Amino acid sequence: MNKTITLILILIVRIGCAQEPDQYITRQGQASFFSYTSVENIQATNNQVLSIIDLSKKEIAVSMLMRAFVFEKSLMEEHFNESYIESDIYPKATFQGQIQDFDPSINGEQTRIVKGQLTIHGVTRETEIKTKIEKTGRTYVLSGDFELRIKDYEIKVPPILARNIAKTISVTFSFKYIPYEK
Amino acid sequence: MKKQLIKNIAILFFVGLLILYAGLYRIFFKEVDMIKTPAEIRISSEHLVASFLANEPLANNRYVEKVIEVQGIIDEITYLNDRYTVFLQGGDKWSCLMCDMQPDQIEKVKKLKPGQKVLLKGICKGFLKDAILLNCVLLNQKINE
């Protein structure tokens, strides 16, 4: 009798574990960038970032529409899409990477390095991003910040505006993932 | 007589400055008044999503940066990062039309419920897993309950 109960309990636990999906998704991740210069500060935010993490493979994929960045000034948005990023030709920025030493079972907070390829403006570069991972119940929140040089992504700024745009841009992100039920 | 002329010139100069400021403010700072902006395209959310799923580059050319009036059934409403988003059914199990609502729409959005049919307007930005519309305003809160 005791053996039967034990077996049932094991099965329940296994079924429970099997129901936990491997993939988690956010369709409303937030990414912002900041350009600080003595002439002006520019900030833009995208609230529709798509990202999926695969817990078993410890992989992450991120995709965002460049046109979904919202600026304080409409003229900045126009310059960003038409002159710098060329959103008609390169409509998306993407990131594909691996979360190093990630243990999805840890409840609470862990800080890990995410290594992968970041593609902006059609240019792909190897990137390492220090990321805070918080697990609460069935949700994961990945957040962090990093810097990128606009020169690395072949983003050209006209000389007349060179003083207005920082050579290094600060990027922050916060993605809240929920189970991806297929 | 001369004083009057100077006074008139000063008034004209001041009015000119005001017009210039209003114009520059409109160009550089003010958001698009979506309620007053006429829609360039009228379409259902299912049709819009289907267009992107069928041929994304073609749909980008046709819809991106256009003011679109969309009719659809609410799948889900979310509040995240201080923003309300209304998801309209896309006729596909995995894809919806994601409508990021303007802050002045909050009170109207709070009254909406999944399953309700709505008409709204926004600027199409493209497609990821869902089609994305920003600066959305509700045109008719309850078409058919």
Query: CA nearest B129 in A: which residue?
Result: A50
Nearest-CA distance from B130 to chain A in Å?
A: 8
For residue B35, is it within any domain?
no
A73 to A40, B25, B99, B134: CA distances (angstroms): 12, 10, 21, 16
Confidence of residue B36 (pLDDT cuts 50, 70, 90): confident
Digit-coded pLDDT (tens) for A56-99: 999 999 999 999 999 998 888 998 999 899 999 999 999 999 99
The domain in which residue B23 lies consists of: 1-30
When mean pLDDT is compared across A17-31, A149-163, B118-132, the lowest value belongs to: A17-31
For residue B101, is it within any domain?
yes
- pLDDT over 90 (residue B2): no
For residue A5, is it within any domain?
no
Confidence of residue B12 (pLDDT cuts 50, 70, 90): confident
CA distance B81 to B64: 24
- Do B12 and B54 lie in a common domain? no
Give me the pLDDT at residue B70, please.
97
Cβ atoms of residues A132 and A109 within 8 Å: yes
Confidence of residue A15 (pLDDT cuts 50, 70, 90): very low
Tell whether A47 lies on the interface with B, counting CB pairs under 8 A.
yes
- Do B26 and B62 lie in a common domain? no
Nearest-CA distance from B7 to chain A in Å?
A: 36
Can you state the angle between helices B45-54 and B56-63, rounded to 10 degrees? 130
Q: How many domains would you assign to chain B?
A: 2
- Do B85 and B125 lie in a common domain? yes
Cβ atoms of residues B70 and B96 within 8 Å: no
- Do B13 and B58 lie in a common domain? no
Tell whether B5 lies on the interface with A, counting CB pairs under 8 A.
no
* Cβ-nearest to B128 among A65, A75, A174: A65
Helix (H, G, I), strand (E, B) or coil at A15: helix
Give me the pLDDT at residue B32, please.
67
| Chain-chain contact of A68 with B134 (C-beta, under 8 angstroms) | yes
| Of the candidates B41, B122, B38, B40, the residue with the CA atom closest to the CA atom of residue B88 | B122
Tell whether A143 lies on the interface with B, counting CB pairs under 8 A.
no
- Do B124 and B90 lie in a common domain? yes
Neighbours of B52 (CB within 10 A): 26
- Do B100 and B134 lie in a common domain? yes
| Chain-chain contact of A74 with B85 (C-beta, under 8 angstroms) | no
CA distance B39 to B48: 14
ipTM: 0.84
Confidence of residue B97 (pLDDT cuts 50, 70, 90): very high
The domain in which residue A97 lies consists of: 21-179
- Do B79 and B138 lie in a common domain? yes
Tell whether B1 lies on the interface with A, counting CB pairs under 8 A.
no
